[in-house]
Amino acid sequence: MEISDAESTVMEVLWARSPRASDEVIAELASAQDWQEPTIRTLLNRLLNKGAITAERDGRRYLYTPVLRRDDWVNAQSRGLLDRLFKGRVAPLVAHFSEQGKLSRKDIAELRRIIEGLDDGK
């Protein structure tokens, strides 16, 4: 499922806590993103039409809940990035960040732990 950057911002609000009413989503995003109410309502409707979220009537309002799981979306985005930029390979991605000086000592230590875990068959 393809969702835009703006739609993913709305999804992050719903992934953090749901179900949520539109007024809660609007309040959070209006202050954090400086977006207007009609923009946020449009994004919610787009996500509904794509099947990324559901809306359940609760009195006079709707409660929105994600259908698209964050893990599934992150996996798809990660795979897409690797495929587009690095022919599906992780090593060139890490090398790129290393060459650009974007890996901290903490990042390097974490990568070592991950690799050691892979070597140990974990």
Range 70-119: architecture per CATH: Orthogonal Bundle (1.10)
CATH of domain 5-66: 1.10.10.10
* Span 46-93, pLDDT tens digits: 999 999 999 999 999 999 999 999 999 999 999 999 999 999 898 888
Domain locations in the chain? 5-66, 70-119
Residues 8, 30: Cα–Cα separation, whole Å = 15
27-36: which pairs have CB atoms within 8 A and are 24 or more residues apart? 33/9
Query: What is the value of pTM for the model shown?
Result: 0.80
| Cα 29 to Cα 21: distance, rounded to the nearest angstrom | 13
The total of other beta-carbon atoms located within 10 Å of residue 22's CB is 17
Q: Is the CA virtual torsion 14, 20, 21, 24 positive or negative? A: negative
